[in-house]
Copies of this chain bind each other. A is one copy, B any other.
Amino acid sequence: MNVDETAPQKGTVTQRAIERIKAMIAEGRLEPGQRLPTERDLAVQLGISRSSMREAIRALTVLGVLEARHGSGIYVTQLEAGDLLETFGVVADLSRGPRLVELLEVRRILESTATALAAARITPDQLAEVEKHLTAMNATDDPEEILAHDLAFHREIAAAAGNETMAAILEGLSSRTFRARVWRGYQEEGAFARTRREHAAIHRALVAHDPEAARAAAAAHVGEVEEWLRAQLGG
């Protein structure tokens, strides 16, 4: 009896609106950077209220697919790795216990590969940037500053690997709050010296353009934290 071609009626209207917009982007009807119709128009087009449409837009906003500019309009993001993988940080921030170890394991795998790729491809300019953060990291005692340069150190290396997607994932796995949470206890145990040695080893491998050495050094670096955390949880 219901021959209405526009109403399959599955799930909430908001959920359907999210899928519709996602589909429009996937099919290429909405290009990156393009501006969408206004919330009011979109609501009319999809036959739903503005409230529901706003929920759908908000959902796609937090996913990094859309971007709302107050007073201007709603735009499709560039759909680059960084935009879409920002939510990866949420995973890292909310994970606890055994899952933290699993996340570090994933990071070890990706970071070691990224560092190996970087060793083969890194340019002098990129290497100079890496060295800048390495030097700054060793020149201060402020934990906050150390952490910041530590993050930048690895970020530059990931960028030099030439895979933006991988770099974005690693960025999420190394989110500020995540590292701060895990590293606080780790560094308190006097791991500064060891960390410096490991960073120096990674740097040497990059300078020598030696992928295998870089892979091993990076794996050992992350593995150290991984093992420490495993021991913490194991009791």
Residues of A within 8 A of B (CB): 14, 18, 22, 25-26, 51, 54-55, 58-59, 61-63, 65, 79-81, 84-85, 87-88, 90-91, 93-96, 99, 102-103, 105-106, 109-110, 113, 163-166, 169, 177
Contact A79 B106 (CB under 8 A): no
> Among the listed B84, B96, B163, B165, which residue makes an inter-chain contact with A90, where contact means beta carbons less than 8 Å apart?
B84
- Central interface residue in A80, A81, A94, by most chain B CB within 10 Å: A94
Contact A93 B26 (CB under 8 A): yes
Contact A105 B166 (CB under 8 A): yes
* 19 A-B pairs whose Cβ atoms sit less than 8 Å apart in the complex: A14-B58, A18-B62, A26-B93, A51-B54, A55-B55, A58-B59, A62-B62, A65-B90, A79-B95, A80-B99, A81-B91, A84-B90, A84-B91, A84-B95, A85-B91, A99-B164, A103-B165, A109-B113, A109-B166
